[in-house]
Structure 1
Amino acid sequence: MCQGAPTTTLEGMQNTPPIVSFRSVTKEYGTGAGAVRALDDVTVDIRAGEFTAIMGPSGSGKSTFMNVAAGLDDVTRGEVLVTGQPVHRMTDQQRTLLRRDRVGFVFQAFNLVPTLSAAENIELPFELAGRTLDGETRRWIEHLSTVLGLRDRLGHHPAQLSGGQQQRVAIARALASRPAIVFADEPTGNLDTRTSREVLTLLRTACGEYGQTIAMVSHDPVAASYADRVLVIADGRIAADHNRLAPQDISRLLIGLETAA
């Protein structure tokens, strides 16, 4: 499980029920001679409480991995399960409901609504789902806002917030509904070094203190070093799967894979 110290081992998580399961997943774009195989017979689990960094060269299939796991894209072959539910068999409406109720997203571009305040952005998923915030949920959002340092910024609009503050709002929005898993797509890509560290620390806190499961797509070895697990995809396949690594070890791993290609 995600912890403050780098003592996590993959062996210690083997009995934890998976949040996401891929079974012989292949994803192809196009048909015939021009078809591109973005994922090639991938079998892997993301277990509850893990902070997993998904890495790989440009075009390796890491973004496709996330899109398929989140039900944003269909598989060509194989099975994808999220919290035990067969996403590969779902209709578009069923996938939309699954993402609404069980999945959170944090993006590089923040994706906040500029005309809404920070508080309104955090509560937006509930508004879109037609869900009334009960007392417990309001207390949870207040707690998140405090932990994320947003209590005095909730009335501000995105343009009045720094990049780091906007990303904190996005993290609060992702965690507010207590999703089974949060997918973070290059969440520090638009942030400076100090703010990136703060955001990554917050993600680890969400994992370690709240039991949140996080899958983060990243190209940055420093960002990936905050994760419990480093999953490397190359040419659509799982090329490496390690427990927590230091940035220099991740860099050597990626360089080694590129050299061998």
Structure 2
Amino acid sequence: MTEQLPPVLWMRNVDRWYGDGSSAVPALTDISLDIAPSQFTAIMGPSGSGKSTLLNIAAGLDNPSKGQVWLAGQPFHELSDDRRTQLRRDHIGFIFQAFNLVPTLTAGENILLPFDLAGRTPSIEDRERIDYLTQVLGLKDRITHRPAELSGGQQQRVAIARALAVRPHLVIADEPTGNLDTRTSREVLALLRSAAQEYHQTILMVTHDPVAASYADRILVVADGRIAGDYPAMPATEIARLMVNLEVGAA
């Protein structure tokens, strides 16, 4: 019998509201979910549904107003800011549309930044992984360029390479293909799927794109701050139909 590994991310009865008293605005209500190791999960939902709030709480960038959030066996919701920062650094890779590259560093130096922040030298295996990522992402001839010398798509690829290079337990991706052309988007999505299947990294991705979501093992649909659906992998056409029905039902 295969041993059941504990979830990488575990949430129970999470609420998030902004403001106090009668003026409080709910963003998330009673969210409970488990994200299993090596699972590629897509989070979808209409604008304003709470997807980004859910992602920020999963990443420890925001605090729940109520409930529990556990990452890699640690109670994220109870940790000090310093301990939370360390937990993020050691266990999470981030891919956001804003890139968050350091402008004074080259692409190669940005990719190596998580190793520098952790105070460790990349191993031979790490170097091989970085070479593979830069090759697949078409960055080989851009390694010495600074962010200002790169296109938006190239900057996004650097951010993706940086997030995957240290093989974090959890990769948080917010619309990771939003600034990429179709071909590069598909290559990036295939890379994320490979990271889950071959390298046992756990991917949590917010996307509005049914094609992007079709690369995932699991699709969570968020509506009005709640989990409105939890589905296994399905084709893009079925995902698109699901989202249209959700929008029509909310109208």
Match of 2:20 in 1: 31
> Is 1:66 equivalent to 2:55 in the alignment?
yes
For structure 2, the residue ranges without an aligned partner over 5 or more in a row are: none
CA RMSD, Structure 1 to Structure 2 (Å): 1.9
Equivalent of 1:238, from 227, 230, 247? Answer: 227
Match of 2:239 in 1: 250
1:164–1:199 CA contact under 8 A, matched in 2: no
> Is 1:210 equivalent to 2:188 in the alignment?
no
For structure 1, the residue ranges without an aligned partner over 5 or more in a row are: 1-12
TM-score with structure 1 length normalisation? Answer: 0.89
Q: Distance in 1 between matches of 2:35 and 2:24?
A: 28
> Is 1:51 equivalent to 2:79 in the alignment?
no
Cα deviation, residue 136, structure 1: 4.1
> Is 1:98 equivalent to 2:92 in the alignment?
no
Cα deviation, residue 201, structure 1: 1.5
Q: Distance in 2 between matches of 1:142 and 1:250?
A: 34
- Aligned positions, number: 249
Q: Letter of the 1:51 partner, please give it.
A: F
Q: Distance in 2 between matches of 1:143 and 1:54?
A: 28
* Sequence identity (%): 63
Secondary structure at the counterpart of residue 97 of structure 1: helix
2:93–2:168 CA contact under 8 A, matched in 1: yes
> Is 1:141 equivalent to 2:130 in the alignment?
yes
Cα deviation, residue 90, structure 1: 0.6
Cα deviation, residue 97, structure 1: 0.4
Secondary structure at the counterpart of residue 48 of structure 2: coil
Which has the higher mean CA deviation after the structures are superposed, 146-155 or 236-245? Answer: 146-155
Q: Distance in 1 between matches of 2:151 and 2:76?
A: 37
Match of 1:10 in 2: none
Match of 1:123 in 2: 112
2:97–2:174 CA contact under 8 A, matched in 1: yes
Q: Letter of the 1:35 partner, please give it.
A: A
Q: Using a 3 Å threshold, how does the CA distance of structure 1 residues 188 and 14 change in structure 2: closer, same or farther?
A: farther
Q: Distance in 2 between matches of 1:212 and 1:163?
A: 25
Q: Distance in 2 between matches of 1:40 and 1:228?
A: 24
